[in-house]
């Protein structure tokens, strides 16, 4: 069967009778089975997916199918689906079954999407390599010796490996965009509040956003359009009008690129070379590109990790070994139940971030760390807004390097610095996208990252369509 890369082609073949939906789902299930050693899916909903395929095929035959008929989608293991297990890839949620469905999934299902399974991820979405899962590391299908990125590495790897057409991830500091860069995909994070967080297991509530992995801009825009919009179950969701993507514009864009990014120690030469080449490519297309300075660049990672760990410390306090999930067999009373269940149930990285978050929120250090970080977050947002007054987009590399070998980054700080170019969008609440525009010398993909003003997702889809159609 053809290795489909976009929904338009699938729907065309379905309409012409060249393809049936049950056959398509069976194909994806075969690919999943053959690729089990990649450790991508924690659970495959094979019977349910096939039954849904037959149901939607009848709708297609009757001409009543929704906009996502033919879309087979993987779901990150921190997004809830009623009647199905969800664990955030953590031992502490082993065996937990959701009693409700995330709004984002409800909206996809209403348009006849097929959900094929839940994908592995870094535990509680804390990681940049998908090595922190309680169920083992995910391998990058483009090079099985390397990581797929994190924390949504399983979702990215699933799409890259041809196990599904699209997948959902969550993005707290780059957890969609970095894996997309490592796996050669479009990775999109919308404006904070654009897509409901109802049904997303929280890591850091003022940062988290659900978003898609796709091969094409058109598919990313379609998923976004369907999932976006006000949700009464999420008080932070926005009622701002969601506009459908109608294709690339012709007007040249003004794009700022942060010069400080290119001068950072740790930026690989191949990434720098590819980024500079992309600047020239965009200029050749008629766009204006100018360097800008961002003095707060080095502050972003410290601010991000102070604030996100503080929120994680609060959010994860509910996992106590009493209400649901893992409970230590050695527990004898309330105190030992709490201490032992959390010590045994949480992995090392999650424990590290909870401890850090608890520390920065403590009475003696709140003003020195948490309060100060909130003030700097505000400055980062204001400085970013100033740049976007004069430019349509801000451009940076997606990551300092290509996908790195599994088990090669031992230093937690070095791992945290993987997010240096992506956290800006989460600190400011602005939308951002990674585009698979170039490759390194050895053939591994490199993403180029664009950030836009709040609710200007249209500009991200616009630049994506122009760049990717130029490559085609």
List the catalytic residues.
Answer: 76, 151, 175
Residue among 38, 49, 9, 29 nearest 183 (CA): 38
Q: Who contacts 262 (Cβ-Cβ below 8 Å, separation ≥6)? A: 272, 275, 276
Complete edge-to-edge strand list for the sheet that includes strand 114-119: 41-44, 114-119, 72-76, 166-171, 209-214, 186-189, 432-439, 445-451, 393-397, 254-258, 288-292
Q: How far apart are CA 436 and CA 215, in angstroms?
A: 9
Whether residue 67 contacts residue 222, with contact meaning beta carbons closer than 8 Å, is answered with yes
Q: Who contacts 95 (Cβ-Cβ below 8 Å, separation ≥6)? A: 85, 325
DSSP 143: B
Whether residue 47 contacts residue 70, with contact meaning beta carbons closer than 8 Å, is answered with no
Q: How far apart are CA 438 and CA 362, in angstroms?
A: 45
* Crossing angle of helices 21-34 and 46-62, rounded to 10°: 160
Please report how many Cα atoms fall inside a 13 Å half-sphere around the Cα of residue 12, on the Cβ side: 6
Q: How far apart are CA 252 and CA 258, in angstroms?
A: 19
Q: How far apart are CA 285 and CA 235, in angstroms?
A: 42
Q: How far apart are CA 166 and CA 115, in angstroms?
A: 10
SS (H, E, C) 37-82: HHCCEEEECHHHHHHHHHHHHHHHHHCCCCCCCCCEEEEECCECCC
DSSP 371: I
Q: How far apart are CA 150 and CA 129, in angstroms?
A: 4
* Crossing angle of helices 457-471 and 217-227, rounded to 10°: 160
Q: Tokens 């990434």 belong to which residue? A: 271
Peptide bond into 151 cis (omega under 30): yes
């Amino acid at each position: 069967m053809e290795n489909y890369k976009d929904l338009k082609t699938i729907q065309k073949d379905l309409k012409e009778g060249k393809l049936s939906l049950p056959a398509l789902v069976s194909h994806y299930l075969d690919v999943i089975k053959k690729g089990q050693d990649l450790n991508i899916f924690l659970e495959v909903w094979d019977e349910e997916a096939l039954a849904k395929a037959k149901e939607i095929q009848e709708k297609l035959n009757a001409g009543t199918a929704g906009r996502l008929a033919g879309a087979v989608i993987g779901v990150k293991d921190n997004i809830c689906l009623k009647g199905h297990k969800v664990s955030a890839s953590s031992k502490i949620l082993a065996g937990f079954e959701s009693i409700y469905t995330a709004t984002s999934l409800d909206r996809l299902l209403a348009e006849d999407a097929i959900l094929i399974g839940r994908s592995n991820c870094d535990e509680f979405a804390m990681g940049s390599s998908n090595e922190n899962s309680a169920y083992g590391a995910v391998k990058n299908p483009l090079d099985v010796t390397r990581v797929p990125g994190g924390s949504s590495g399983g979702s990215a790897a699933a799409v890259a490996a041809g196990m599904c057409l699209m997948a959902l991830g969550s993005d707290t500091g780059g957890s969609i965009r970095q894996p997309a860069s490592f796996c050669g995909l479009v990775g999109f994070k919308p404006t904070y509040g654009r897509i409901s967080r109802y049904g997303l297991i929280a890591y850091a509530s003022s940062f988290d956003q659900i978003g898609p992995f796709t091969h094409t801009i058109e598919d990313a825009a379609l998923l976004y359009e369907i999932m976006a919009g006000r949700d009464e179950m999420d008080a932070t969701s926005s009622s701002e009008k969601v506009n459908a993507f109608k294709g690339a514009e012709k007007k040249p864009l003004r794009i700022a690129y942060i010069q400080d990014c290119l001068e950072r120690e740790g930026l690989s030469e191949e990434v720098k070379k590819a980024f500079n080449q992309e600047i020239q490519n965009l200029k050749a297309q008629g766009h204006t590109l100018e360097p800008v300075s961002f003095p707060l660049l080095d502050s972003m990672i410290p601010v991000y990790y102070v604030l996100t760990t503080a929120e994680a410390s609060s959010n994860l306090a509910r996992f106590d070994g009493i209400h649901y999930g893992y409970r230590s067999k050695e527990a004898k009373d309330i105190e030992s139940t709490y201490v032992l269940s959390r010590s045994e149930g949480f992995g090392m990285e999650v424990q590290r971030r909870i401890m850090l978050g608890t520390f920065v929120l403590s009475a003696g250090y709140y003003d020195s760390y948490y309060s100060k970080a909130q003030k700097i977050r505000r400055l980062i947002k204001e400085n970013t807004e100033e740049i976007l007054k004069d430019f349509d987009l801000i451009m940076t590399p997606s990551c300092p390097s290509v996908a790195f070998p599994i088990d090669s980054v031992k230093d937690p700080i070095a791992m945290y610095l993987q997010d240096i170019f992506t956290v800006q969008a989460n600190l400011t609440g602005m939308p951002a996208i990674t585009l698979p525009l170039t490759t390194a010398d050895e053939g591994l993909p490199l993403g180029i990252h664009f950030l836009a003003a709040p609710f200007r997702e249209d500009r991200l889809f616009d630049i994506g369509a122009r760049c990717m159609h130029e490559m085609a």
